[in-house]
Structures are given as structure tokens and as C-alpha cells.
């Protein structure tokens, strides 16, 4: 998108977040759902197709612009970002990197128009360990398609999705590593697809995750992403790089919201006859939080610029996600501390910020898994230089 037009769009989005989305947060929390009219407004604004190429009905944002939108949306309750994040992040990335021309022509216009997508990688016994993946895709004996069986777990937007990108084992074992995994585009109304009840979560009210059960699900041959087996894990990892940038941007935006809340509270709350903002240890927590948010914003600018230049950013995306999500956890903890006893009460925002932020350190790769990934690439690079 043209830079000037994008800046105008971002200004409009910031107003929408503050004037429309934040005032509706109480309804989202009370009903554990985003109101239908707001979801439709978001579709009308083009949020579900931000990264889809313009010729397919999307906005054609680059990664730098996309991350700025995510950060802006993340200033409000996480559910608002969650409902469109898979469309513009992992699903779109997989279609872009691995989809055939026919798959792009079929699915890009549909997700840009607001059909909701989900991404099925995690299983009851398989998360970071792809070798343990149990979902199987076998050639359909009655045709040129495939038959899928298995269960996917913790799948964001599964209760609302009309399409899922499902990872499944097409070989018992294969070399090179992870070549046993293939990706399939599966309409969620396909016979044999069942979505479980939404899981009850610690936080992020209004966003939903659920299991997806696949019981003899027949899909045609053209459902295989890219038309080639053994590429699913690579497409998934490329998509997760995008997802990690999204989570990092969301963590940064939400940390800013929490800090702004603490700053306001510290100036309004009085103790010993003066605002607690005058106390140096309160100022220390505010200053540390601002500094860490600034660092995350700087990392975001760097990693997204690298992606837009076409660089390999596996390590940089992981590092950004690790730092930003851990930073957000530290910021919301300080915010509860600044609020004091009020921070432990549900009537104040601080305790919600604390609960909502906890998942950022877990999904799209836990901090610990990503630290291992960063170290692995460091050691591989060192070994290649000696």
C-alpha cells in the first residue's frame, strides 16, 4: 500500500480502536464474544485481507505495515486482533509461499472478503515436536484425493472458521527431516470435520480456541497445498515466522496500553497527600516499562524491514517474539504493582492485562523453544565459519 495512504489508514484505525473498540470491551468480556456488528465493521475496513495482494481483493500491505496495524489493534482487547490474525498472518503466508495459482485464486479473495481461517498444527501429543504428529493423510482409494484422520488442539478461531490449513503426516518417516508433513486446505464444512466446544481460558475473553476432530475427511487432490507432499512443515515454519512477528507486535501494543493505564492511575491515586506518581520507586517501574517497550518497538522496526528486504529472518523473528512477549509480561506485572491492592480486583483493568498477556509467551513457539532455535542457528553459523 502507498505509504501516504497507509498513514491515513493507520490514523483512522487508531481512532477506531479508541472510540469504538475500547468502549465495547466490557461487552466483549461479559459475553465472551465480539459483537457481530463490530466483526462486520472490521471486515468492511478490510482488516481480514490486509496482507492479501490487491489484485485478489486485499490491501497488499508489506510486513512493516502489517505489524504496525497489529500493534495498533493490540492496544484494545486481544480478541479484536485474534479474530483476523490467522487470515492475514499464517494462512495468508502459507498460501503466498506454497499455494498454487489455483489455490491463490480460490482462497485469497475469500479470506479478503472476511471468511475466517484457522491453522491446524498443534495436536494433543504434538506441539513443538513435529515428529510426534499423529494426524494422517492417506491417498483416497476411491479417487485422486486424500483421507484425513486425527485431532488438532488449541486451534485459534476454530469455532468461527470456514477453512483450515491442516498439517498431516503423509509418510511414516521421511528424509530430509520433517518431510513426512504435508499441508491441506480443508473447508470446515467438509463431512467428518467436527469442532469441539471452545476451551475456557485464563484470559483473552472473546477469542476462542477449540479442538478440531478429523474423522475420515475426504478432500480432493487440489486441497494439497502446493500440489506436492512433504512441504507442509516448511510452509508451517515460514508461516510461524509471520505469526511470531504478529505476536511480538501484539505484545508491544498491549504493553503500551497497560503502561498508559498505569500512568493515568499513578497520577490520579494519592497517598500521603500527593499522587503516587511522585514517588521514585513508582517512577522507576514506569521508566523501566517505557524503556522496554521502546526496545521492542525498535526490534519490530528492524525485523519487519529485514522481511520486506527479502532476508531470512527466522532468528530475528524468534528473538523479537521472545523479547516482546517476555517484556509484556514484565510490564503488566509492574502495572499490577503500581495499582497495588486495586490491581488484584476484577473491576480494574490491571488484573485483566496480567491474565491476557500470559499467553503471548506460549503460543507461536514458547520462549524456551525459540531460545533453542536461536541458539541452534547461532551454533550452525559458527560451525560454518570455522
- What would the grid cell of residue 177 be? 527431516
Report d(CA 333, CA 331) in Å as an integer. 5
Other CB atoms within 10 A of residue 142 CB: 8
Is the Cβ–Cβ distance between 35 and 28 less than 8 Å?
Answer: yes
Rounded to 5 degrees, φ, ψ at 197 are: -70, 145
Before 176, cis peptide (omega within 30)?
A: yes
Bridge partner list, 169: 136, 181
Alpha-helix runs per DSSP H in the chain: 3-16, 25-31, 36-44, 63-73, 78-86, 92-98, 101-112, 232-268, 280-308, 314-339, 349-357, 367-385
* Among the listed residues 71, 105, 63, the one whose alpha carbon sits nearest the alpha carbon of residue 88: 63
- What would the grid cell of residue 341 be? 491492592
User: What SS3 class is residue 271?
Assistant: strand
What residues are annotated to the active site? 364
* Among the listed residues 142, 194, 132, 199, the one whose alpha carbon sits nearest the alpha carbon of residue 164: 194
Alpha-helix runs per DSSP H in 269-364: 280-308, 314-339, 349-357
Report d(CA 61, CA 67) in Å as an integer. 9
Question: How far apart, in Å, do the first and last CA atoms of the chain sit?
Answer: 43
DSSP code at position 127: S
Amino acid at each position: 500500500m502507498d505509504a501516504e495512504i497507509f498513514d491515513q489508514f493507520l490514523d483512522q484505525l487508531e481512532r477506531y480502536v479508541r472510540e469504538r473498540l475500547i468502549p465495547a470491551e466490557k461487552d466483549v468480556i461479559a459475553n465472551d464474544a465480539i459483537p457481530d456488528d463490530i466483526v462486520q465493521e472490521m471486515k468492511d475496513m478490510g482488516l481480514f485481507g490486509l496482507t492479501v495482494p490487491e489484485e485478489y481483493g486485499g490491501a497488499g500491505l508489506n510486513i512493516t505495515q502489517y505489524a504496525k496495524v497489529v500493534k495498533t489493534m493490540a492496544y484494545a482487547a486481544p480478541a479484536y486482533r485474534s479474530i483476523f490474525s490467522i487470515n492475514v498472518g499464517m494462512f495468508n503466508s502459507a498460501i503466498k509461499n506454497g499455494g498454487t495459482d489455483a489455490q491463490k485464486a480460490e482462497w485469497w479473495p475469500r479470506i479478503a472478503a472476511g471468511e475466517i481461517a484457522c491453522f491446524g498444527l498443534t495436536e494433543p501429543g504434538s506441539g513443538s515436536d513435529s515428529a510426534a504428529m499423529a494426524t494422517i493423510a492417506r491417498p483416497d482409494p476411491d479417487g485422486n484425493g486424500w483421507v484425513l484422520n486425527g485431532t488438532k488442539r488449541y486451534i485459534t478461531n476454530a469455532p468461527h472458521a470456514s477453512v483450515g490449513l491442516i498439517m498431516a503426516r503423509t509418510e511414516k518417516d521421511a528424509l530430509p527431516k520433517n518431510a513426512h508433513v504435508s499441508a491441506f486446505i480443508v473447508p470446515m464444512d467438509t463431512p467428518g470435520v467436527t469442532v469441539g466446544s471452545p476451551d475456557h481460558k485464563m484470559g483473552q475473553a472473546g477469542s476462542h480456541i477449540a479442538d478440531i476432530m478429523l474423522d475420515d475427511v475426504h478432500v480432493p487432490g487440489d486441497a494439497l497445498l502446493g500440489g506436492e507432499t512433504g512441504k507442509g512443515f516448511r510452509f508451517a515454519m515460514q508461516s510461524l515466522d509471520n505469526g511470531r512477528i504478529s505476536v511480538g507486535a501484539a505484545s508491544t501494543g498491549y504493553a503500551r496500553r497497560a503502561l498508559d493505564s498505569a500512568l493515568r492511575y499513578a497520577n490520579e491515586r494519592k497517598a500521603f497527600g500527593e499522587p503516587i506518581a511522585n514517588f521514585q520507586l513508582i517512577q522507576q517501574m514506569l521508566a523501566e516499562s517505557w524503556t522496554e517497550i521502546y526496545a521492542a518497538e525498535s526490534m519490530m522496526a528492524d525485523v519487519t524491514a529485514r522481511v520486506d528486504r527479502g532476508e531470512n529472518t527466522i532468528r530475528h523473528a524468534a528473538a523479537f517474539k521472545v523479547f516482546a512477549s517476555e517484556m509484556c509480561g514484565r510490564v503488566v506485572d509492574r502495572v499490577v504493582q503500581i495499582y497495588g491492592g486495586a490491581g488484584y480486583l476484577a473491576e480494574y483493568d490491571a488484573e485483566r492485562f496480567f491474565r491476557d498477556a500470559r499467553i503471548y509467551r506460549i503460543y507461536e513457539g514458547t520462549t524456551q523453544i525459540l531460545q533453542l532455535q536461536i541458539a541452534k542457528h547461532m551454533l550452525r553459523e559458527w560451525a560454518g565459519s570455522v
